[in-house]
Amino acid sequence: MEKYNFNHIIFFVLMTVFFGSCSVQPETIHYGEDNCHYCRMTIVDKIHGAEIVTKKGKVFKFDAVECMINYSAEIDKEEVSLYLTNHYDVPEELIDATQATFLISKNLSSPMGAFLTSFESKSSAEKVKSEKGGDIFTWEELLKHLKH
């Protein structure tokens, strides 16, 4: 009887560890330490970082949204749970990239030279556009613009 109960406890602990380690959530980007999964550059820019989180909880970090989009062309999109991006207004904060607004402006540089910056709201993007110029995109429009 004791062995039976002990086996159940071991099984429960192992299942808890297994399922607990597969949580679908972002990871903190360690600027100056983490490397972009696509281009391998060190991620240093706190406004332009991005992440993909798979349904199995695996996290891929990127130094720019364009690297994330380019990498996403190489993977099964059905396996992706989250597309995340840093944004202009609160550097280091990750937001849902599929709900973000994007500005491409030659007067606002980005790590990979696409001049692409993410914003949490359209109004914030429009404000910066009025100062810097450029074009505003939704996630879907951006994918088409970058041909992905």
Residue-wise pLDDT tens digits, 11-52: 555 444 455 456 899 999 999 999 999 999 999 999 999 999
Question: Is the CA virtual torsion 125, 29, 24, 50 positive or negative?
Answer: positive
Domain residue limits at 87: 24-145
In total, how many domains does the chain have?
A: 1
118 occurs within a structural domain: yes
Residue 9 lies in a domain: no
Q: Residue 52 in contact with residue 72, Cβ under 8 Å?
A: yes
Side chain identity at residue 122, one-letter code:
K
Asked if residue 4 is part of any domain, the answer here is no
106-129 per-position pLDDT tens digit: 999 999 999 999 999 999 999 999
- Does residue 66 fall inside a structural domain? yes
Answer whether residue 1 is part of any domain. no
